[in-house]
Structure 1
């Protein structure tokens, strides 16, 4: 029974099958906000997306942070280690062997004096070079058994280090190896070189590879599936071994080459490894066989560890290129997550995977679309999402409190808006019956006030009701069907109404270069997008036209305006912009005209009768006269006019004030961060029940008061 229970016992561990299937989907809202901001600043959507992936978000590390960690690990490897670990270990073993031998010669009183003197002479005349001394002692007849064992350890160490250079883990695996183990190594190397040479001639078959792996597979824990995988693994390690040699000083390299002949007490291993390196260079010439690194630390590494460090450095260099994403066609899918986890840990791989999923979601969920030229553009879906985010920010600024989603009153009377809300004391709006009943049913079920149908209940009076709901009484029988809910005042929802006044809105935004030069370019675009989103989502009956005016003016779609690049062009053609606005007003004679002008400069250009643009600075009197004439035309059409003055230029302030007085308009001088709230507030006030408000307001963000208590909701 115990065995049966053990057989069905489940074991749990960390999920390692790819992305977490239970992880929530990536949040695109922060990415879209950042991308939209960069697009409005003049970046292409593709570049804006790359910039966000590079910077990361509030709770998401970006590519720059990962690349920094890669460089830190690379620098740490080079500054901590050096490559003379094997040479130092050989020198220590040699010194220990010589010391033990001299002790033995001094203790052995039975030894012939001439023999002792000869041996001491041999030891005294050894070459100062460690490699040469090891070679000279190859035929020495050791008196001390301990000294002999230490010397044999040198040959064993060299053999294991040379193998570890080409086959990771061999240094530990071959520790204490027997002659049979060394023979097996030589046989494997001979068969491997034969297979690679056969492959180079194009004469190998899959059966040859399978036969080799059946015989020597224990030497290859990577378990390659074919000869190409085997070549890739061996060539990467062999190239790192060559770079290890290249990174040594000439003296270290020469000494190591001399020592290699003593590996396992025979030059056969060195010959086989040299043959292997030559075969691998022919098969994979694209590997870095000539590179080198400058190690500056004080922690010595053996040949195998040094080769591993060079492989790590190569991995880190590859990751740096992948994370830079600077090459044509770069994608987050290019980042090797396994390599990243191996070098920086699982958390780094999770960060990179999240960025990859975010990039994929942006491309595949319709937020980025390619236009006819093949360039990426923000899709209408992305524009709506970005507009909603900007509108939420505007609502918060207008409400004066953080987290406010709406301004509660949507209108006291008029047409139904289609929205409902919870009843509050003093409300006179009609009840929304379906929503009210649904709320009651849900609450009753949640509070456990329902009952089982078909239960026997005593007879009750026919007039018995619960919260106004009628009871159905059977004429003959013992049960009474009670209503499945109880109505409570908390369940009541009322239908919102709105005083509907159709508006014809012209938003004129200054697109002269001074707007970009003084940091007003992005706030201007954010304002236009917020107003556009509000009208298209909440006041669909209104007619909005966006007009940009620089040296000349033009009507723009919101996508065109948000993607507009700042360019050096002198001229602020308010005259042309007002011409286009008045044309828009005349197309909608039954709507209330609303003129909103955002500018940071006096008009310096106008349209001549022949359609040519005239420019002059300081402003020519004719330019001022043409602008004033078109503003008067807007006033005669009944337009409610608000100027939004940006900057502190006294001349501009005097001009804007005089223009506003002519049409009984208003002047608002908001801070840049409050520009959107100021424009939206002015628009809402122009179509509120108070109608047109006269007079001026100026100064800071408080200058957009008097908008009639109008409000709006921003859906998530």
Structure 2
């Protein structure tokens, strides 16, 4: 809520929104969405597809598109299984039987009637054909002796007229109940004027004034109040196409009966001529509507012509919603969802669920979590990568500490160089305050609570942030991750990426002075940015070029001569390729002795540079185990054989161990539990 201060016309003061839930708050848990999207991206999905998959699945408390689509399909199936198309015919038959019965009663009890006339009338009734339409037609000229029978027969004509009009104009059946001749004349006049307007429109001769004149005269027939002739055409054509699909869905016998009965509508052949002309105009002006579809109905609840047309419109709406919810067409967006139709078909709650998904997609795009690259492809933004990395790092911390949700070490180093990070003060902290962050927190809180920060700012414990210091040297870290086809084939692709992102986040947020280089190695090796690695599709080229990866790692170490080299190698196979002196890749399986020798030579070079080395062996291959063990012994390194779920904790733990004293074989997490830890904020 904003308030103006006297004398300051353009100044506003804002406090917390107090009118209920914050209307600007994210509609769903973006963190949950980002975690799920990140997992799919690391599994090889594009960010666009990963986002669509999350929208399909939904979240813990959020209905997804697939569930809405399932409900749409169930609704469609329920309509088809509940109804049949004989409703009007059944109602006409009932009225006819009642009229004939009343006439027979009158003939039996009328003492004044001539016996010959009585016998002739009974013969006419006895000779009625079994076809309802034929019987109604044959009785058109019958001279009813029973007033009740005559009224029931006239109701047949009235019912047929109202049903036929209701097919084209929803609600007409009820509106024309007990209609007078004047009412029927008004309908005929409206149809004549409407056909005239549509004919002019088809020839391109109509104007908006023509439409407005028509609506001024006949607007009561169109409660939806279309704004122009195009809107009127859309409404009429959709309804008429649904009526045609209903007719297409009838058996040939049903259609024949209906066409014969239609001639009796209101006892006016002119009505059928006008409706036929209307249908022709609508089909000519809206040929894109579905005029040829049909459905198979198998239920027990009869549908009249008007109600049946409404059901066929519902089926069309459900088909349209099904396509929208599929999001499988080119250029599909959540904004395509017709919330009004969804509310009509599935209820308001479904529309709210869909609207929430729309807001989620918009939030992911508009709040900086997704961005489009120069090639137009959607990517996870650096902001999204940081958020995802924090979540992965929290998971790593929980696995390493064994204490769900605990922060492993509040102290970041009581003495030493500044880490560049700050955190909220907690009891027992002795680090110096970060005055700028502390005062900023107090100002922001004061303004949010409705205070005037220009007059006075009071500090509270929650405002205080302390600087973090670290007693350590810099490290040059090379994380070598195997990207050969076996990593993807054996389900190690995503854990590898999760590990790289967790380590990257840790170093970028907590050890900013360290230098991390990510190197992927398959048939050849490549230095990768974290965004490139996490979005990397599974590679199916054969080859594990450890030699090339170590070459790149040693180059990284030499660029930072004053930093402690840390070499971390994640692999599930022996080296099967190396770089030749001319730069070409040599591949051989089983491993060629020259390939092994080249790899050993570069590992020795890393050892001479002082690299603290840890191999993370994935899989149970005995040959790999022997090779990795021998490589580690050459450089006094370590070997860790973690479960896939613990790979991230193993790599991060080894890195943290390397930040303390040098260690050899033993605890796979290095000096983590006895040395320094780290704190992962929210």
**TM-score, structure 1 length as denominator?**
0.86
Q: Could you give the per-residue CA deviations for residues 473-499 of structure 1, whole angstroms, max 9, x where no partner exists?
A: xxxxxxxxxxx99999x9998654321
1:666 and 2:668 correspond:
no
CA 318–643 in structure 1, closer or farther in 2 if over 3 Å, else same: same
Distance of 1:183 and 1:630 partners within structure 2: 99
| Candidates 472, 476, 495, aligned match of 1:500 | 472
Match runs of 1:319-358 below 5 Å = 319-358=321-360
Q: Could you give the per-residue CA deviations for residues 406-458 of structure 1, whole angstroms, max 9, x where no partner exists?
A: 53232243234453554546x66567789999999999xxxxxxxxx9xxxxx
| Candidates 97, 118, 134, aligned match of 2:120 | 118
The 10-residue stretch of structure 1 (576-585 or 113-122) with the greater mean CA deviation from structure 2: 576-585
1:97 and 2:99 correspond:
yes
Distance of 1:167 and 1:485 partners within structure 2: 69
Q: Could you give the per-residue CA deviations for residues 589-608 of structure 1, whole angstroms, max 9, x where no partner exists?
A: 11111010100011122222
Match runs of 1:139-218 below 5 Å = 139-218=141-220
1:147: how far off?
1.3
In the other structure, the counterpart of 1:24 is 25
1:276: how far off?
1.1
In the other structure, the counterpart of 1:479 is none
CA 636–364 in structure 1, closer or farther in 2 if over 3 Å, else same: same
| Candidates 544, 565, 574, aligned match of 1:572 | 544
In the other structure, the counterpart of 2:422 is 419
1:693 and 2:663 correspond:
yes
In the other structure, the counterpart of 1:227 is 229
Q: Secondary structure at the match of 2:224?
A: coil
1:645–1:653 Cα contact (<8 Å) kept: yes
Match runs of 1:546-585 below 5 Å = 546-585=518-557
CA 537–685 in structure 1, closer or farther in 2 if over 3 Å, else same: same
CA 98–499 in structure 1, closer or farther in 2 if over 3 Å, else same: same
Distance of 2:41 and 2:623 partners within structure 1: 33
1:390 and 2:362 correspond:
no
Q: Could you give the per-residue CA deviations for residues 51-107 of structure 1, whole angstroms, max 9, x where no partner exists?
A: 222222222112111111111111111111011100000001111111111112111
1:710: how far off?
2.2
Paired residues in the alignment total: 652
The 10-residue stretch of structure 1 (290-299 or 608-617) with the greater mean CA deviation from structure 2: 608-617
1:260–1:270 Cα contact (<8 Å) kept: yes
Match runs of 1:386-535 below 5 Å = 386-417=388-419, 418-419=421-422, 422=425, 424=427, 496-535=468-507
Q: Secondary structure at the match of 2:374?
A: coil
Distance of 1:393 and 1:256 partners within structure 2: 69
Distance of 1:679 and 1:606 partners within structure 2: 25
1:283 and 2:253 correspond:
no
Aligned CA RMSD, in angstroms, stands at: 2.7
Distance of 1:208 and 1:434 partners within structure 2: 70
Q: Secondary structure at the match of 2:623?
A: helix
CA 374–706 in structure 1, closer or farther in 2 if over 3 Å, else same: closer
In the other structure, the counterpart of 1:376 is 378
Q: Secondary structure at the match of 2:70?
A: helix
Distance of 1:438 and 1:561 partners within structure 2: 37
Distance of 2:363 and 2:460 partners within structure 1: 45
CA 392–313 in structure 1, closer or farther in 2 if over 3 Å, else same: same
Moved over 6 A (4+): 431-443, 484-488, 490-494
1:109: how far off?
2.2
Distance of 2:441 and 2:290 partners within structure 1: 71
1:644 and 2:616 correspond:
yes
1:54–1:62 Cα contact (<8 Å) kept: yes
Match runs of 1:308-323 below 5 Å = 308-323=310-325
In the other structure, the counterpart of 1:239 is 241
Q: Could you give the per-residue CA deviations for residues 322-368 of structure 1, whole angstroms, max 9, x where no partner exists?
A: 11111111111111111111111112211222222222222233322
Distance of 1:22 and 1:374 partners within structure 2: 32
Distance of 2:407 and 2:564 partners within structure 1: 28
Distance of 1:586 and 1:309 partners within structure 2: 75
Match runs of 1:607-646 below 5 Å = 607-646=579-618
CA 309–676 in structure 1, closer or farther in 2 if over 3 Å, else same: same
2:479–2:519 Cα contact (<8 Å) kept: yes
Q: Secondary structure at the match of 1:540?
A: coil
**TM-score, structure 2 length as denominator?**
0.90
Any gaps of 5 or more consecutive residues in structure 1? 1-19, 444-452, 454-483
Q: Secondary structure at the match of 1:146?
A: helix
Distance of 1:441 and 1:297 partners within structure 2: 68
Q: Secondary structure at the match of 1:369?
A: strand
2:26–2:363 Cα contact (<8 Å) kept: no
| Candidates 688, 695, 709, aligned match of 2:675 | 709
1:502: how far off?
0.5
1:297 and 2:299 correspond:
yes
1:683 and 2:655 correspond:
yes
Distance of 1:438 and 1:108 partners within structure 2: 103
Distance of 2:276 and 2:341 partners within structure 1: 29
Distance of 2:351 and 2:418 partners within structure 1: 53
1:551: how far off?
1.5
Q: Secondary structure at the match of 1:366?
A: coil
- Structure 1 or 2, whichever has the larger Rg, is 1
